[in-house]
Amino acid sequence: MFQRSRHDMPIVKKGYKRMLLSYLPLVFVAISAVVFISFIVVTDMTVREAERADRLSTRQIAGTIEASVQDIERTVLQELAVNRSLYSFLNADPADDERLIQYELSEDLQKLRESSPSIQSVYVYRAADGKVLTEREIVPLVRFADKEFVAAQLHADRTQKWLPVRMFRDSELNRPEAVTSYIQRFPLPLGSDGIVVVNVNVGQLVGETVTYNADDLSILDIRDSRTGARLNPANGVIDPAASAPAPDRNVLSFAQQSPYLGWTFYSGIQKGPLSAWVSVISYVWVGIGVFVLAGSLFAFVYMAKRNYRPVELLLARIQQFPLQQLPKQKAADEFAYIERALEALVETNRKHEQLQQDGWTAGKRQFIRDWLDGTATVDSAEWQEKAAYFEIPPESEFCQAAIVQVEGFLPWQRQEEREKRLLKFSLANYILEQLREFGHLETEWIEADKLALLILRRERASEGDVAGKLNEIVGWTGRHLNLRIWIGTGLEAVSQADAAVSFRQAFEALGYKLLLGRVAAYADVSARRQPSAFAYYQRMAECVQQAYGRNDGWSGQADAIFEQMKADLLADEEIKSIILHGTALLLEEAECVADPEVRSRLREIVLSLQRLTEQETRMASLQAAFAERLERFSFHYANYKKSNKYQETINRVKRHIEQHFNDPDLSLTQISEMFGLKPKYASQLFKDEFGMKFVDFVVMLRMEEAKRRLVATDDPVQDIALQVGYATPISFGRMFKKLEGVPPGDYRKMKLRATQPNS
């Protein structure tokens, strides 16, 4: 029921082998005849080309060696021209630290020697005291291993830059090696303070260039023209021959001079008896070849006719088969007809397989979705059958789900749909390639920005290895695909049925991106304790109130709130909800500001914090942005409280209340509308500036005026109540008694008795 059709059975090509074997003897014989006929000309041309190639190779070898030595010379001259340690060593100053100078110069000589693998050694001779400094030590000339050479070069008048090849060893422990030396007086170019000697290992120099030398075909002989010493091209060892070899017709036929080095390069092709023997045999084959070609032509016609028989049978079979898509026009030949027939068969078969493949792909996608959602309710046998059909390893014992979320930031949103599909395809294939080592991987885009991963394996995997590979994927995706992704991983399930549990855990882990970073594992979330949301909201309210209340302690409290969030491992939604609660309080406070310009500035600060809170994905950035915005809000709010406009508003409100406190309709709403204030802000204004609420301030003014009228006038209490702003005498009397402890009438009698003289 679930088995897919296969058409990949191998075909045994017996007909092809028979045809090949039938023509092979004829081809072999014919080619052999032609080859041996042409061998005479080819052999001669080959020899001439070999000699030409040998000359070019010799010139190239000589040029390469010269270039290497010239490069060493340039490096040495550049170093000597700017080296301060060399100047200090050759012109010693008693005030300088000579050991330090020697150490620094030794280091420089060591670096100079390491600049080229051909440099065997470098040392400096100081004429002032006759000492020699190498990379390892400083010794008097009389105890130096190369003292005879140095003594000979002190007053030598040289025209050649590079000296003849000689055997040299820098210590008794090392074997002698063939070197060519470069001498440079100091100061440049012909100073007398000392000399610098650079010894170049001839074996290393020559061995880097001459990598192969076949003595039976090509010969290379290198001689120092000044001494006649022969240099072995393989290792540079000196062969103390008396003179250069005389060129031989069969051996050395070319000489290349190198005036710069003073060397001569001899080369040639060694000829043997092979050429003469081949020529004789080839003439015999000329006659045989003519006879063989004639017989081959007859055999070719016979075999071609016999091998064409299967083609005739194939044509007959094709013509018996009805093909709907085969063109009706006449074909150019029988092979074109066969080609068209096969193309029609292939196209019909391709369409059939495409339909089958599309159904299989859609079925697999739905199976994986149902599996991860936990909605697939099938028994073990049916699951095994479907897994085998959809090429999912049914024998896997462990499975782990993960979700890759692509951040919907601007570069991703600007992509065209076709480009998004390409990026999705690239991302899925890269992840598939990287996680292949951990087991079988299935991928499925469950949402536009979420890719589900399911890793199936037979053995448990190290969480550290998986997490490390996931971090590599996150970094590579950002650098090469310009995508910012997060990955949430669930716990490893021990059965296929628990894959849905691991999938839900991966979803939950993605909700902790702020604290867990780009790779969030459910194992870090499962052990967290459930914090009190009310406590966080209360602490956040206190923090913002301190900020706009000009209390410097808000900064430390904000840091403590964020640190507690990290310790409690709050989810992203919880963290952002707490911060947005604080921004709502700030926005409410900003709306209470009377000055439109200041109110607009404060509102923009709070709104920018809200936008950043909803978009930010890093806890450190969110914490820094919260502190920075709250600092700006506190600064502008405090400046506003100190501004002239603020004081002017306070004075205007106070004067208006003092002039109209006897108005029964006087209220906080009326004051707010008259002066363009928010009711809450107006209430806060009184509390901050007058130390009492608006109602208490109005009552205080009314009671003071009432007490004055009760003593200074004979107006009835009912009239005085109306005069000070109370609508009814009852409410006036109740408030008066509450504040003064006695009714208004008793207060008047008490004050009048106190002012009358004692009778």
Q: How far is CA 219 from CA 242, 252, 727, 748, in A?
A: 19, 7, 131, 141
Least trusted range by pLDDT, from 298-307, 552-561, 572-581? 298-307
pLDDT-derived band at 681, boundaries 50, 70, 90 = low
- Secondary structure class of 96 (helix, strand, coil): coil
Mean pLDDT for 66-80 is 83
607 vs 325, which has greater pLDDT? 607
State the Cα–Cα distance between residues 619 and 609, nearest whole angstrom: 14
Mean pLDDT for 325-339 is 61
CATH code assigned at 679:
1.10.10.60
Residue 412 has pLDDT above 50, yes or no: yes
Asked which of 495, 525, 555 is the last residue of a domain, the reply is: 525
Same domain, 247 and 103: yes
Same domain, 554 and 509: no
State the Cα–Cα distance between residues 509 and 507, nearest whole angstrom: 5
Report yes or no on 383 lying in a domain: no
Mean pLDDT for 551-559 is 80
Least trusted range by pLDDT, from 233-237, 366-370, 508-512, 739-743? 233-237
pLDDT-derived band at 3, boundaries 50, 70, 90 = very low
Mean pLDDT for 333-348 is 70
State the Cα–Cα distance between residues 87 and 406, nearest whole angstrom: 63
pLDDT-derived band at 243, boundaries 50, 70, 90 = very low
Q: What is the dihedral of CA 177, 179, 185, 188, to 10 degrees?
A: -130
Residue 744 has pLDDT above 60, yes or no: yes
Residue 379 has pLDDT above 50, yes or no: yes
Same domain, 403 and 511: yes
Report yes or no on 609 lying in a domain: yes
Residue 287 has pLDDT above 50, yes or no: yes
Q: Is 404 left (phi over 0), alpha (psi -120 to 50) or beta?
A: beta
Same domain, 124 and 252: yes
Same domain, 497 and 573: no
Same domain, 105 and 244: yes
Report yes or no on 157 lying in a domain: yes
State the Cα–Cα distance between residues 743 and 746, nearest whole angstrom: 5
pLDDT of residue 29: 66
Report yes or no on 363 lying in a domain: no
Same domain, 606 and 723: no
pLDDT digits (tens, 9 = 90+) for 158-188: 666 788 888 887 766 677 888 888 888 878 7
CATH code assigned at 188:
3.30.450.20
pLDDT of residue 493: 77
What share of the chain has pLDDT > 90, as a percent? 0
pLDDT digits (tens, 9 = 90+) for 580-623: 988 888 888 777 776 778 888 888 988 988 888 888 888 888 88
Q: How many CB atoms lie within 10 A of CB 150?
A: 17
Of 138-142, 151-155, 216-220, 341-345, give the range with the top mean pLDDT.
138-142
pLDDT-derived band at 277, boundaries 50, 70, 90 = low
Report yes or no on 59 lying in a domain: no
Give the residue carrying structure tokens 């090469």: 480
Mean pLDDT for 110-139 is 83
The average confidence (pLDDT) of the chain is 76
Same domain, 228 and 150: yes
State the Cα–Cα distance between residues 450 and 407, nearest whole angstrom: 9
Same domain, 107 and 251: yes
pLDDT of residue 310: 73
CATH code assigned at 512:
3.30.70.270
pLDDT of residue 759: 43
Tell me the β-bridge partners of 231.
222, 238
Report yes or no on 550 lying in a domain: yes
Mean pLDDT for 493-502 is 74
Asked which of 212, 245, 269 is the last residue of a domain, the reply is: 269
User: Which of 52, 42, 64 is CA-nearest to residue 253?
Assistant: 52
Same domain, 216 and 120: yes
Residue 246 has pLDDT above 80, yes or no: no
122 vs 36, which has greater pLDDT? 122
Considering the entire predicted model, what is its pTM?
0.45
Number of independent structural domains in the chain = 4
pLDDT of residue 674: 80
pLDDT of residue 284: 64
pLDDT digits (tens, 9 = 90+) for 704-739: 888 888 888 888 988 888 888 888 888 888 888 888
pLDDT-derived band at 49, boundaries 50, 70, 90 = confident
Asked which of 642, 668, 683 is the last residue of a domain, the reply is: 642
Same domain, 114 and 240: yes
Spell out the residues 6+ positions from residue 473 whose beta carbon is closer than 8 angstroms to its own: 430, 431, 434, 435, 485, 487
* Domain span holding position 541: 533-642
pLDDT of residue 558: 85
pLDDT digits (tens, 9 = 90+) for 617-644: 888 888 888 888 888 887 777 777 666 5
Same domain, 635 and 661: no
Residue 338 has pLDDT above 80, yes or no: no
Report yes or no on 358 lying in a domain: no
Report yes or no on 331 lying in a domain: no
What are the backbone angles phi and psi of residue 517, rounded to the nearest 5°?
Answer: 85, -160
